[in-house]
Chain A
Amino acid sequence: MFAADRIVLWAPWMVVFMPLFGFMVLAFFGGLAKRQGQQQGMMVLATACTFASFFLALLTVKSLLSLPVGDHGLHFAQPTLAEFNWIDVGGLTIPMTLLIDPLSSTMMLVITGIGSLIHLYSIGYMSHDEERVRYFSYLNLFTFFMLVLVTGASLALMFVGWEGVGLCSYLLIGFWFKKKSASDAGKKAFIVNRVGDAGLIIGMALAAAKLGTLSLMELSTGVKTMAIEEFGVFGPLTLISIALFIGACGKSAQIPLHVWLPDAMEGPTPVSALIHAATMVTAGVYMVARLGAVYQHSETAMWLVAAIGGVTAFVAATIAIVQNDIKKVLAYSTVSQLGYMFLACGVGAYGVAVFHLVTHAFFKALMFLGSGSVIHGLSGEQDMRQMGGLRTRMPWTFWTFTAGWLAIIGFPGLSGYFSKEEILMAAFGHNVFLFGLALFTAGLTAFYMSRLYFMTFLGEYRGGLEKKHEDHAGHDAHADHAKADDHSHGHGHGGIHESPAVMLIPLFLLAIGSILAGYIHVPQFVEPAIRVEEALEHISWMPVAAFAVAFAGFWLAYLMYAGPMRELPAKVAAKFAGVKDLLDAKWGFDDAYDSFVRNGVNGVVDVSERVLWKKVDAGWIDGAVNGIAQMTNDFSQGGKLLQNGLVRGSAISILAGAVALLSAILWANS
């Protein structure tokens, strides 16, 4: 039971099922919790489940690493649940099996670790919401599906998690369902994701038809045995890879399927941190990395992945520059950073992509939660023009946010620095144009993040909130918070205040992660699982170039938003009005999407209604049917006397029918 080789057979299942257990308890019994204390109990239970899941994940990984090494130096295990098949039809067997190897272990730790912290944070953040138990049940359900996504041993099981997290995302974005914009955003997210999912289904169908399996292990090893004619520019492997990549674009918000992510900010901020920054949106990157051995065989698909990734990174970063909503900046930043990860995948540096996924999970979750703390402290304000000077009023939030900011802009020594530099090096070896774009984007990143940082925390407070609670700022406030309930009711009404400890502790831990995560050798750890040899050429001038570009971005932002040239943004905007308009319009994607919805979808709706329903159905088909009926009716006017009663008439026709039937049988028998 407690030997390592036994542990890896049961512990991963416990990791997966703990959050599901939490969800079930909350879903079935949450309605019974009426009082404040009971509801808090429910919230603590949900949080405890994810923490338990995290510790079990640690145990799993520790045991996994003490297993004897398989081929290619890979530690892995495939625990199967009770010899039970989820699907077993027509030769396609999909057992309930998990794949535990360094790659899924890494994902598991990120999800449960960061997930636990966000659960903890939510206890504070959602403390005033009447439906906090429902919120926590969704959060637990999400964690369950996300774990299924990364541990499932076949594409089909991955797809369970894939759609499941999409569902939870739908529920959580539209959590405040009374708001039309929230339920609209939820619906948009689900439908755009379904477009991607359709790609995934086609990819699975192709893989099943061509390779005869959906098992991730077998797919990765199977491609090596494929005949050479299966490769080629538009060979089956390319089609499989591209179809799956469409799914990845939907989930990971890559152009042109990125439009749902900024809208998704309608959800509660911890949800943005968990789902729309640290975990769910990275699922596409995980899938491409997981199938790296397949992608590696298709130059076309690789090129597409790299190009979409590079372009998305750049475009999203430019849009982030002109956003004034703090969460929108972070959302576009997330799209941009995901683009970096795909760029890394596309140039064959899958391990590096996962590395950036991990470091990004820390610093982006940190910054989202930090922005949540700001929004919480400002009673719901999200416009950065109404912020400023929060450094002194929310010192803990400020200092932890600083760590996240430095990490994302690539300050030497912090996590983002390492992972981004490796992406740049990998890109340089493959495609100089994409490398240039990525390097320039690094500068843009430093610029827009510094802009956010300066506008929010430095300078003078520009908002209109009264300042009566100012003296509560600082960490004394949360001591009160823990024991005094009346204080917590003061939140959201009064002036600017620092958040309670239950929200600050996760910030603190994530800040430590953002600083130190770069020292874990993620690429070397996960590479055996991906089965692609990555030879990363070390380029000595890269640190210098990366730092110089980041510094330039930072310095420019400093001048424009904190330094002596504060009138400059307006001047630049006036001078380059065309560019400003383009960026304000988000490169036209939102307009294109809206007009697609308005014209395309409305056109479809219109055609469906006017042509398909009212003309084809009601006009042609029914017209023909009714016409025939009318003819029959005219014809049978003579028999009208028989129709003197519904029941009797039918009885007679049945009798007549029976007579006709018998005579016909007599004929047939003759």
Chain B
Amino acid sequence: MDHLLSLLILTPLAGALVLLLGRGMSNETIKRFSLALTLFLFAVSLLLLTQLSGFESSTEYRFQEIVNWLPEWGISYHLGIDGLSLWLIILSTLLTPISLLGSWSSIEERVREFNIFILILESAMIGVFCALDLFLFYVFWEAMLIPMYFLIGIFGHGRRIYAAVKFFLYTMAGSALMLVAFLVLYRETGSHTFDLPALTRASLDPGLQMWLFLAFALAFAIKVPMFPFHTWLPDAHVEAPTAGSVILAGVMLKMGGYGFLRLAIPLFPVAAQKAAWAIAFLGAIGIVYGALVSLVQPDLKKLVAYSSVSHLGFVMLGIAAFSPMSVVGASYQMLNHGVSTGALFLMVGMLYERRHTRLISEFGGLKNVMPRFAAVFLLVCLSSIAVPGFNGFIGEFLILVGSFTFSPGLVILSTLGVILSAAYILWMVQRVMYGEVTNEKNANLPDLNPREWATLLPLVFLALFMGVFSSLFTPSIEKPVIKIIQDARVRALPPGGQIRLIPMRQAGPAPSADTAKEAQQ
């Protein structure tokens, strides 16, 4: 149990090595090997939950591992997780086997490379969520880019090279600045360490903080992606193979929000709070903008991609509003988005496999020929538009209610997104599923097969489960979130100032619990 995180990070790498060396393996064997390995990793990641009560009761990092790596430069192999990273790791280990299974029949050439890239990607993603050393974080962060670059560039569709290069340049541009900021931070704090917990205790000149924060914020904003840094996303998604889209949307976009909460805000609390209004504003713009552009997409995958811009706008609004409720809502929304958008991309991929097109106008009346597909698709869409009872609602609700005191105006603007999301999703559902079958090519499409059921059922189940049992997840998220907020507020205070956290019930009347109890007895 001591090296659980290392096990999670290194096992996929070892698996990739096996695939690289095992030249004699057939495609089928390679697929089965990778699937079994990633399923095993999922099971291992569930072991992290054995300490769930610990995550709920204290904010210390658990499963820590520290090994001196380059001691003369203050670099160490420092891993550790709290409730914030816990769920994102499990999301990553869940979505990886699902995306492998989802690509089972669509990737027929260069199967070995495909699986190698996915395994390296998984290792890097888990690494990002575990790293507590800035240098290590940066290594994993960059390591993620390369396999994804190849997944899009080799296994993608028509304009895959353009999309891959765009994806690479965009994210490189952000992370290059972040790297510079790392180095300046390292130099200016004078502590000569890359250790995150140590650095968050250092104090920095507010002017410098702002510059460094902006460098970090740019890297993370591109990743989220936050309007107006989002244009790589639709291209990357449309050209990526299904597995790439699922992992990209499901996990990699979450690195942005995670980066803000883990690095940018704790390291630069003064600057973060000064810039909060701008981030919230861009987040709210992103909600409406993404929804409006989704409305007019002729391509299913682009529609889902732009809807991600809208959903991630909620996440940014929640983070920027910086109340416990809104930040927990944002963190929860990241998980929800991984589940529901992951499922949406899988299903669009299934349609593509059947028809080799993703144009909405090519479909229509599919409910007649694929009733089960249509039913599951509707469920996934309902989760995406945040119907209560599904996971998305909890996230949006917490974000909107939690952000209200920060800015009523932005919350009201954001509720436009609630209306528009129903419009673009239901309009799409109507054009794809309802009516008579008008296109001959759709007349004999097969319904879901057992493999496809296996990829979708866990996600649909989670979408509902997380919508009803949110309180199994949120306490462990809330603990670190409150610490992040309190630390940031305290450190942003002028000397001698006092912190005042406003509890939710402050204005509330005394609940008439007595009378209620009387009635119950």
Give A residues with C-beta under 8 Å from B: 5, 8-9, 67-68, 70-71, 75-79, 84-92, 156, 159-160, 162-164, 167, 170, 174, 177-178, 180, 183-184, 187, 190-191, 194-195, 197-198, 201-202, 204-206, 208-213, 215, 217-218, 221-222, 225, 604-605, 607-609, 612-613, 616-618, 621-622, 625, 629, 632, 646, 650, 654, 661, 664-665, 667-669
Contacts and interface: CB of A to CB of B under 8 A. Distances in A.
A217 B512 contact: yes
Given A222-B509, A668-B187, 4 more contacts: A70-B519, A79-B520, A88-B470, A613-B293
B346 to A, nearest CB: 21
A206 B402 CA distance: 10
A88 B473 CA distance: 10
B423 to A, nearest CB: 5
20 contacts: A70-B519, A89-B325, A89-B398, A91-B325, A92-B401, A163-B387, A167-B382, A167-B387, A178-B436, A183-B435, A197-B418, A205-B401, A205-B411, A206-B408, A604-B295, A613-B296, A613-B297, A661-B179, A665-B73, A668-B184
B508 interface: yes
Given A5-B520, A613-B293, A90 B328 contact: yes
B133 interface: no
A198 B183 CA distance: 46
A212 B507 contact: yes
Contacts of A170: 426
Nearest to A70: B515
A209 B475 CA distance: 21
Contact of B470 (A87, A187, A607, A622): A87
B73 A208 contact: no
Given A91-B324, A202-B412, A206-B404, A177 B434 contact: yes
Contact of B506 (A160, A212, A665): A212
A205 to B, nearest CB: 4
Contacts of A654: 146
Interface residues of B, number: 87
Nearest to A9: B520
A607 B288 CA distance: 13
A215 B511 contact: yes
Contacts of A76: 519
A624 to B, nearest CB: 9
Given A174-B434, A183-B430, A201-B418, A67 B412 contact: no
A77 B412 contact: no
A212 B502 CA distance: 11
B289 A612 contact: yes
Given A191-B426, A208-B504, A669 B397 contact: no
B365 interface: yes
A612 B292 contact: yes
B415 A92 contact: no
Contacts of B470: 86-88
B73 A222 contact: no
Contact of A88 (B415, B471, B507): B471
Nearest to A91: B504
B113 to A, nearest CB: 10
Contact of B418 (A85, A198, A212): A198
Given A167-B382, A177-B435, A667-B183, A210 B418 contact: no
Contacts of A210: 507
A607 B388 CA distance: 31
Interface string B477-489: 0100000000000
Given A90-B402, A194-B422, A218 B508 contact: yes
A180 B435 contact: yes
Contacts of B408: 205-206
Interface in B405-452: 405, 408, 411-412, 415-416, 418-419, 422-423, 426-427, 430, 433-436
A617 B518 contact: no
Nearest to B506: A212
B394 interface: yes
Interface of B: 72-73, 146, 149, 153, 165-166, 169-170, 179-180, 183-184, 186-187, 192, 228-232, 234, 289, 292-293, 295-297, 323-326, 328-329, 365, 367-368, 382, 387-389, 393-394, 397-398, 400-402, 404-405, 408, 411-412, 415-416, 418-419, 422-423, 426-427, 430, 433-436, 468, 470-471, 474-475, 478, 503-509, 511-512, 515-516, 518-521
A245 B234 CA distance: 39
Contacts of B153: 646
Contacts of B505: 91, 212-213
Contacts of A209: 401, 404-405
Given A71-B515, A88-B474, A164-B388, A178 B434 contact: yes
A213 B508 contact: yes
Nearest to A219: B509
Contact of B519 (A78, A190, A612, A625): A78
A51 B94 CA distance: 42
A210 B367 CA distance: 46
Contacts of A221: 509, 512
B231 A617 contact: yes
A434 to B, nearest CB: 30
B449 to A, nearest CB: 16
Nearest to B182: A668
A629 B235 CA distance: 16
A202 B415 contact: yes
A622 B231 contact: yes
B367 A194 contact: no
Contact of A87 (B186, B229, B411, B471): B471
A599 to B, nearest CB: 16
Nearest to A654: B146
Given A206-B404, A211-B509, A77 B520 contact: yes
A89 B324 contact: yes
A665 B183 contact: yes
A160 B365 CA distance: 30
Q: What are the nearest 4 A-B pairs in CB distance?
A: A91-B504, A212-B508, A90-B325, A222-B509
Given A91-B324, A183-B434, A629-B169, A67 B398 contact: no
Contact of A177 (B402, B433, B475, B520): B433
A361 to B, nearest CB: 25
B386 to A, nearest CB: 9
Contacts of B507: 210-212
Contact of B504 (A167, A190, A205, A212): A212
A200 to B, nearest CB: 10
Nearest to A223: B509
A650 B146 contact: yes
B422 A190 contact: yes
B419 A89 contact: no
B169 to A, nearest CB: 6
Contacts of A92: 325, 401, 504
B402 to A, nearest CB: 6
Given A187-B426, A198-B419, A212-B507, A86 B468 contact: yes
A218 B504 contact: no
A231 to B, nearest CB: 15
Contacts of A178: 365, 368, 434-436
Contacts of B468: 86
A609 B184 CA distance: 43
Contacts of A90: 323-326, 328, 398, 402, 478, 504
Contacts of A164: 387-389
A164 B390 CA distance: 11
Nearest to A159: B388
